[in-house]
Amino acid sequence: MNQRPLTKAALVSTLFILQSALAETTSSTAISPAVSPLPDPTGSLIRILGAFVLVIGIFFGGVWCFRNWQRITIHRGRTPKLNVLETRSLGGRHAVYVVGYEQERFLIASSPNGVNLLSHLPAAAENEPAADAKNAPNPSFAEALKQVLKGK
């Protein structure tokens, strides 16, 4: 290959062309020297706090649902079949319960040693009081308990 040395005039014209091309590209993409002011942080702070409150609310709502899921599932139009109709404390950690399941009723005793079935009570009529209860005055709980224990 045969190379020719660059003349001074060719070198100056090449540099002039490169300088003018560089000036055209930088002038069209030049960044303005004016600095834009920083945005107001109040809006961002309100958004962050709102998101935080929303996340905490969802968390506590989930905890409440997890702890109370039984209440939510029971109240779907079904009435519970098992109910504690009446409770009497006998002192200390002893108690007597009247428990109803559908139309059946049971007298149950609770103590530190466990739970015992004392007696099967007469079935309750649906939406109607017992026939002998209309005529006789209601006995006290102690009298009813004595009657049940005598019948055992």
pLDDT in tens, the chain (152 residues): 556 666 777 777 887 787 877 776 655 554 555 667 777 888 889 999 999 999 999 999 999 988 888 776 665 666 778 888 899 998 888 999 999 988 889 999 999 999 998 888 887 766 544 444 445 566 777 777 787 777 65
**Alpha-carbon gap, residue 139 to 130, rounded angstroms:** 14
- How many domains does the structure of the chain reveal? 1
Q: Which domain holds residue 123?
A: 82-128+135-150
Q: What's the longest Cα–Cα distance across the chain?
A: 136
| 145 in any annotated domain | yes
**Alpha-carbon gap, residue 108 to 121, rounded angstroms:** 10
What are the helix (H) ranges across the chain? 8-28, 41-67, 69-74, 131-135, 141-150
| 93 in any annotated domain | yes
Contacts of 140 (CB under 8 A, 6+ apart): none
| 38 in any annotated domain | no
Pairing assessment for the beta strands 94-101 and 114-121 based on DSSP bridges: unpaired
Q: Of the candidates 117, 134, 137, 116, which has an alpha carbon nearest to the alpha carbon of residue 125?
A: 134
| 64 in any annotated domain | no
| 14 in any annotated domain | no
pLDDT at 74: 61
For 63, the token pair is: 């905890």
| 45 in any annotated domain | no
pLDDT at 125: 67
For 20, the token pair is: 């003018």
| 104 in any annotated domain | yes
